[in-house]
Amino acid sequence: MNTEAEIREIFGHLKNLMMAHKEAGMEPPPVSKEMLGYMEREVSEGSAYPGQSDHPDSLEGLREFIGDCRRCKLHKSRKKLVFGEGSPRARLVFVGEGPGREEDLAGKPFVGEAGELLTRIVEKGMGLTREDVYICNVVKCRPPGNRDPERDEIEACLPFLKQQISIIQPEVICTLGRISSQELLLRDIKITRERGEWGSFMDIPVMPTLHPAYIVRNPSRERELKGQVWEDVKKIMEHLDLEVKKNG
Ligand code: URA
């Protein structure tokens, strides 16, 4: 990347940070008017993020826009960027944390063991297919060793999730686990306590539930945890007017 592109990218990050503060109703970090004007000018030619000068209005366009992303350090160790998959007209979007090992190799979200459980929830529980919904993550590249994504990585990637959601305009978002629930609901979350309570992101109802990997990691509590996820999934189905079968 040349210096000019790097500067533009830094301004892009700064501007996104300012916008995130504004959206969260927080005071933005103090930046002079001159600096703001400068950032607007720099970012508007060849923006590092959508929603500024470029507006990819399709998922394909957004994927192209993201390109061979190097906006954060996760690019160094990833094999494949995992953009997300499913219907661009999905009524329901699932948001996980970030790709794991299998997803990094396949370039597709939720294809490992946790993914198989999510697929069963969608197919057997909800009576839908993976193609009916949309599945994506907060960060699009695998954090090494499956660690939690770090702040700078989330900040770099969140604009793309926002753009995916604004393109799809789902009726419900289901956040899987603590990380995606915190990022969308803009507060610290204890997921085992706060799952099942409706929140909202970009004016879209959000249902936080347990991450399927948490169930996979706790086989002795499988029945109990699956029951909790089913309670949350039923709320989503009722919201979407989908028929809830008795035996789940
Ligand atoms: N866990 C996630 O959060 N996302 C995936 O895509 C796979 C596992």
The single residue listed with the structure tokens 């709320």 is: 235
With vertex at residue 137, the alpha carbon angle to CA 158 and CA 171, rounded to the nearest 5 degrees, is 85
Six-digit token pair at 128?
Answer: 């839908």
* Mean pLDDT of the 161-177 span: 98
Ligand 1 centroid – CA 237 distance (Å): 22
34 pLDDT band (50/70/90 cuts)?
low
Question: Is the shortest distance between the CB of 97 and ligand 1 below 6 Å?
Answer: yes
With 70 as the cut, is the pLDDT of residue 6 above it? no
196 pLDDT band (50/70/90 cuts)?
very high
Extents of the domains making up the chain: 3-45, 71-239
25 pLDDT band (50/70/90 cuts)?
low
CATH architecture for residues 71-239: 3-Layer(aba) Sandwich (3.40)
Question: Is the shortest distance between the CB of 143 and ligand 1 below 6 Å?
Answer: no
With 80 as the cut, is the pLDDT of residue 233 above it? yes
Pocket mutation for ligand 1, best pick of 81, 85, 93, 103 (most atoms within 8 Å of C-beta): 103
26 pLDDT band (50/70/90 cuts)?
low
